[in-house]
Copies of this chain bind each other. A is one copy, B any other.
Amino acid sequence: MDLHGDNLIGGEPLTAQGERWHAVEAATGRDLPSEFSAATPEMVDRACALADEAFDTYRETSPEERAAFLEAVAQGILDVGDALIERCMAESGLPRPRLEGERGRTVGQLRLFAAVLREGSFHEARIDPALPDRKPLPRPDLRLRNVAVGPVAVFGASNFPLAFSVAGGDTASALAAGCPVVAKAHPAHPGTSELVGRAIAGAVKARGLPAGVFSLLFDPGIEVGKRLVADPRIAAVGFTGSQRGGTALMKLAAERPVPIPVYAEMSSINPVILMPAALEARGAEIGKAFVGALTLGSGQFCTNPGLVLAVEGPGLDAFLAGAGEALKGVAAQTMLTPGIHKAYCTGVAALEGNPAVTKVASGQAGGDNQGQPVLFVTAAGAFLEDHRLAEEVFGAASLVVKCRNAGEIHAVLARLEGQLTAALHMEPGDYEAARALLPLLERRVGRILVNGFGTGVEVGHAMVHGGPYPATSDGRTTSVGSLAIHRFLRPVCYQDLPDALLPAALKQANPLGIPRRIDGKIGG
């Protein structure tokens, strides 16, 4: 499929005058075919204006219409075929099986939200019927439902060119909620973004929706994104990326004349806590599994295990030996962009140069733009004294913190900032000690997992991919799973509105057949 490199404004490809730029092949740093044109201020304005125009129509499409639309987007992405995978491999350096899996995940997310729309709880429909005879005052008829917040700006992530990008979780949940989306493509994968964007725009057209439901903007820099977040018609922002980028958007959004929410998924080092009985039973085995999780996708996951905590002893020694042995055989892998590779090397060099840190082992050295995985160890005392050791090194590097006792594990955890995940490796003999850690973990993280690693993020109803700041900008939410739709909804109450004027979700006859809360009780 040919790429035209144009911004896609309400379905129309628009070429900007001025400088054009190329995508870069991750493995080689060479320019890839097709030039892209950065959106002009007028294009940003036009995309926001169209989104705003489309909003009232789109948000009041029936849940079934939006479900069918999301399914059409999913099918449209599949219909791009292998061209999507190939372009994405070239742009991201990620291997084919990973990207085929990620495409499945992306399609699965869209279909999940279609199911959420059909189920209907997202309406949060509530009815407190009138009590005309209540004393001293009658009670009016009160009905509540959620409505869409307005057009949403979505920023594509570098590390999930499909599942957290143009048609990723933020877009899927915003479109499901009834919000038009103006997406900003990540400059690391513009061709992938264009192919996916065209699939969305095609579904918008095929389903007869207003063209402004979706636009896609390109920019190798940050001006388009800043303009987008500042636009008064944008009502919320979805972002996955660095803490610097996310906090910059939070600041912009807070300083608007009308502040808006930013849902930024930012940084996390995802502590892994190895409990004594588990270490004793299977230290080496855990070490081997850990290396698998650490080096998957060159460690370029928000949920990558960047920190390991354990009490020193033979069990931890076995873990380190097992992990070290496994790591030596791991090949270096191409990283997403030269910039990410460079930042990784800088982070690793800082750990190597830290006198309190020792290298346990590293994987095989690689070529240009390839990340060599590495495992370090330090002592809890040193970790507690040097806050730089708690900073994320995005990539396949991790730091084991040797603790003298359970108290030091607790102290290290208490010192950590908010995290996406924490993993506990344990056996029944560890349960009581684990129980004592849970309150602290609940305060620090969005997901607590046992005998596994956070790198697999299920897309379901019970998932939380979120966590206290700075793991995300807003620890009250998740960016993965069905609960994510609530980021883009707000409640409206209707008091004594005649049935003829009530939205379908609240009409007396319940024509949508959705779950509703009557006088506080879930009813029909």
**Which of A259, A463, A491, A517 has most chain B Cβ within 10 Å?**
A491
Give the interface segment out of A15-23, A78-86, A337-345, A433-441: A433-441
Task: Count residues on chain A whose CB falls below 8 Å from chain B CBs.
Answer: 80
One of B128, B435, B495 near A447 (C-beta < 8 A) = B495
Interface string of A459-482 (1 = CB under 8 A from B): 011111010111001111110001
Say yes or no: A520 contacts B463, CB within 8 Å.
no
* Chain B residues with CB under 8 A of A251: 254
Say yes or no: B449 contacts A149, CB within 8 Å.
no
Q: Contacts A458-B139, A501-B431 hold; do A495 and B450 have CB atoms under 8 A apart?
A: yes
Give the interface segment out of A26-34, A113-121, A404-412: A113-121
In the complex, what distance in Å separates the CA atom of A316 from the CA atom of B522? 43
Q: Does A388 contact B (CB under 8 A)?
A: no
Q: Does A56 contact B (CB under 8 A)?
A: yes
In the complex, what distance in Å separates the CA atom of A8 from the CA atom of B139? 38
* Chain B residues with CB under 8 A of A495: 447-450, 452
What residue in chain B is nearest A112 (Cβ atoms)?
Answer: B520
Say yes or no: A144 contacts B496, CB within 8 Å.
no
Say yes or no: A140 contacts B449, CB within 8 Å.
yes
Q: Does A322 contact B (CB under 8 A)?
A: no
One of B428, B448, B470 near A493 (C-beta < 8 A) = B448
In the complex, what distance in Å separates the CA atom of A458 from the CA atom of B126? 14
Say yes or no: A483 contacts B128, CB within 8 Å.
no
**Which of A128, A139, A143 has most chain B Cβ within 10 Å?**
A128
In the complex, what distance in Å separates the CA atom of A140 from the CA atom of B455? 13
Say yes or no: A434 contacts B496, CB within 8 Å.
no
Q: Which residues in chain A, 96-155, are within 8 Å of chain B measured between CB atoms?
A: 115-116, 119, 121, 124, 126-128, 137, 139-140, 142-144, 147, 149-150
One of B144, B150, B448 near A462 (C-beta < 8 A) = B144
Q: Does A442 contact B (CB under 8 A)?
A: yes
Interface string of A234-270 (1 = CB under 8 A from B): 0000000000000000110010001101000000000
Say yes or no: B501 contacts A435, CB within 8 Å.
yes
Say yes or no: A461 contacts B517, CB within 8 Å.
yes
* Chain B residues with CB under 8 A of A254: 250-251, 254
In the complex, what distance in Å separates the CA atom of A463 from the CA atom of B464? 28
In the complex, what distance in Å separates the CA atom of A198 from the CA atom of B119? 47
Q: Does A498 contact B (CB under 8 A)?
A: yes
One of B258, B434, B520 near A461 (C-beta < 8 A) = B520
Say yes or no: B464 contacts A140, CB within 8 Å.
no
Q: Does A492 contact B (CB under 8 A)?
A: yes
Q: Closest CB-CB distance, A417 to chain B, in whole Å?
A: 8
Q: Which residues in chain A, 468-524, are within 8 Å of chain B measured between CB atoms?
A: 468-470, 473-478, 482-483, 489-498, 500-501, 515, 517, 519-522
* Chain B residues with CB under 8 A of A329: none
Q: Closest CB-CB distance, A46 to chain B, in whole Å?
A: 20
In the complex, what distance in Å separates the CA atom of A495 from the CA atom of B128? 37
* Chain B residues with CB under 8 A of A144: 461-464, 483
Say yes or no: B462 contacts A115, CB within 8 Å.
no
A-B contacts, 29 listed (Cβ < 8 Å): A116-B520, A128-B460, A128-B463, A137-B456, A139-B458, A139-B460, A140-B449, A140-B458, A142-B460, A143-B462, A258-B470, A259-B473, A431-B498, A434-B501, A445-B492, A446-B492, A447-B492, A447-B494, A448-B497, A449-B495, A450-B495, A460-B519, A460-B520, A462-B493, A464-B491, A475-B490, A476-B489, A478-B493, A522-B522
Task: Given A140-B452, A438-B501, A447-B494, output 10 extra A-B contacts at Cβ < 8 Å.
Answer: A119-B521, A121-B517, A126-B462, A137-B456, A144-B463, A254-B254, A259-B473, A446-B492, A448-B494, A462-B493
* A residues apposed to B, CB below 8 Å: 56, 60, 115-116, 119, 121, 124, 126-128, 137, 139-140, 142-144, 147, 149-150, 250-251, 254, 258-259, 261, 417-418, 428, 431, 434-435, 438-439, 442-443, 445-452, 456, 458, 460-464, 466, 468-470, 473-478, 482-483, 489-498, 500-501, 515, 517, 519-522
